Structure 1
Amino acid sequence: MVKKIEPWFGFTEDKVFGMVMENKAFCQYLLEIIIPGLKIKKIDWLDKQVEINNSERKNEAKEVRLDVLVTDHEGRVFNIEMQTTDQDDIGRRMRYYLSRIDLRYTLNKGKTYRNLKDAYIIFLCNFKPKKDDKFYESYHTYSDQDRSKQLQDGVTKIIINSQVSAEGQSKDLKALAKLMNNEPVRLNKHFDYAQRRIKEINEDPEMREKIMLYETRMLEREQAAGKAGYEQGMQRGIKQGRAEGKEEGKIDSAKIILENQLNSGRTLEKATEFVRNLKLISDKELEKIVTMYK
């Protein structure tokens, strides 16, 4: 009988990432190696899988679920996200996450804008990089006319991609890249803890079941979004088709389905393949639609 090979859930898996990062000592260490010179005396609050929704626009505003959200002794806010697929929207995703965090955490009622706390948005990526991507990139707001002039908005955005060479980086960041790539790390007690915790999670049947259930639910949500988009597109396409002809109605359906697929988090490539498999329109017509999103 062939032995079933169980999947290994590493540091980049959503649930595992959260369970490892909930250790405040490890989380603080990770923040300090990612942001050199940052002195954190104490992490006051840490939470994972944080939902931030606007109660006044809950039916309109896009739901936000943050992987890990942290505040330190100075009230600074840190959002740490794990990204394993390239949605080609990191910049805009960072912008939206920051807007939601600002509304909820960084400015209390009755305070002025000067009281806005510093915010750090950190994306840990583990996907095939573009040609000009670097292992570590930090972003701030600068003047287009004078690069030496920085807008003091208190925001730092950092992107780390473990699939890019970490040559020239600190030994700590090199170790982080290895951890993200499921490679053994021998450096210090912090990485010893992380690897031990990951091993414990993988050896616990109940934990593994929860992770697999979570992944199944995420897949079901994606499939449901695709089905809803298909049905919405067909209905609208039928109406459009009656007024302007069946062919144009099919094209309209394809546009809506593609847009729904993109809104549900699929990459342009996967969304295009989904629409193509429906065989609503020709590949030539589909390519015309796709070019609008490139």
Structure 2
Amino acid sequence: MDTLPAIRARGITKRFGDVIALDGVDLEVPRGRIHGLAGPNGAGKTTLLGLLLGLATADSGRLDILGTPVGRALSAPEGVAGFVDGPGLYPSLTARQNLTALTALRGGGSRTAAVDDVLDEVGLTDVADDRIRGFSLGMRQRLGLAAALLTRPRLLVLDEPSNGLDPAGKRHVHGVLARLAADGTSVVLSSHRMDDLEALCSAVTILAAGRVVFSGPLGRLATEDRELAYRVLTPDREAALRVAADTAGVEIVEDATRRPDAEVLLVRAQAPALDDLVVRLVEAGIALRELAPVVSPLEAAFLALTEQREALR
């Protein structure tokens, strides 16, 4: 049983009246991995998350979660937790009271130790006895994660868990999710933030207009034959400009040649040509302080794939 994927969906379709929210969606998430879910607004992400959490049922197709076939009942198999559209919380209660009430509703009694453990895990111990009506959005997201962790789920489904987090809070949540995956928990993470998906996920599924336009390892996106714009930071920009102009397959972005920043050069190239440029810069003795895509490979692929799909509608 443990060799089965955490999620296996085949041909999932979901309609709301005349609107097709999901149209023949396939999805497979191995156990112990963090799988990203991306797509523009209206792509079907929330609907798919709702199916995984047992908040809705598919009209057709097959969905297996943690080795259990999901039927037509509004329920998820034991071991699944998470939230969609933000966690549901009682604003007049404290963080601790919210979690205690939740454990009681689940028949777990007060379980003070478990509540304290998850509050500590998400970094909310210092505000455990504060009423959450005064919490920031990021703190509410962390409390929602704590609520999901109370059951020690084998599959965690999260919708924008980094929403509203400051850099320290985001780093903390990223660490929590990475540790969970290392311990064998599967995570499905929906986010509009490409940096979150790139930092955490081993694979990603991109939806557009209810259909899967890409699903697989992030590395496959990076190896696609796409030209990307890259930011080259060097103290000898003029020399780097000459080398770039003589490198086949490298295009100098014209607007960048007029930038006031004397150390930045923008070029556009596919990966092989960019590799050649780096070799030539090193051979010419030109210092290279930074080389980074202006738009990440994931974001570039996201834009290309979703725009292409929307154009076909």
TM-score (norm 1): 0.30
- Higher RCO, Cα 8 Å, sep 6+: 2
More strand per residue: 2
Normalised TM-score (structure 2): 0.28
Structure 1 or 2: more helix by fraction: 1
